[in-house]
Amino acid sequence: MKTIYLIVKYFTVVGTFLQAFFEHFTCRFYEVLIEDARYLRADELCGHVEHELIRKRSTAFGVSFFPFLFNLIVGLALTSVGAVHVYYLGEFFTSGGVPHFVNFLFLWVGISVLTNLFPQIEDVLQLKDLIYGKGKSNWAVKIFAAPIFGILYAGAYLQACGATLLTSIAFSFALPYILAAILPHLVG
């Protein structure tokens, strides 16, 4: 699994760097001590920064959620530009018959960013302990955090085995049609 994980991380190097940058930025914002800030490593921390163990619930939530949110926004914007032009409009080539590299570049970078959305498994497990541990939170916090935590938890495990590349590619195929359903006046 580690080999597949590293292949996916290096294939989606733009998203890997962006994920690590947003994680680094968020750790700095929350004043979490960073132990190792190398973005590309040959282990399970590839695309993440190694930081101290977080003991505060709001900080653990912020360090897990905000890099996810930033990458999601950037990934959706870039993927929608590339996917609409390539999949929906069929603009594979320019008027001169040359492949339309800009459209494919937007698509690859968008898929790359969407592939690298989720936090490390250790961060999600720490967040789980801080929110759902015995006597840690009241019921309202647990209910409010459940959908967000579920997405982060499942995504962290999917990313650890490299499956998020496949889900991002599948989502990029569906995205133009989702946008066409939501914004029909832009299509016709």
For position 1, what pLDDT does the model report?
Answer: 67
The answer to whether 115 and 165 have CB atoms below 8 angstroms apart is yes
- Note the pLDDT of residue 88: 79
Count of Cβ atoms closer than 10 Å to residue 63 Cβ: 24
Question: Tell me, what's the pLDDT at 24?
Answer: 94
Q: How far apart (Å, rounded) are the C-alpha atoms in residues 167 and 160?
A: 13
Q: What is the DSSP string of 83-127?
A: HIIIIIS---B-TTS-B-HHHHHHHHHHHHHHHT-S--HHHHHHH
pTM (2 d.p.): 0.88
For residue range 124-178, what is the model confidence (pLDDT) as tens digits? 999 999 888 877 778 888 899 899 999 999 999 999 998 999 999 999 999 988 8
Positions in the chain short of pLDDT 70: 1, 94-95, 186-188
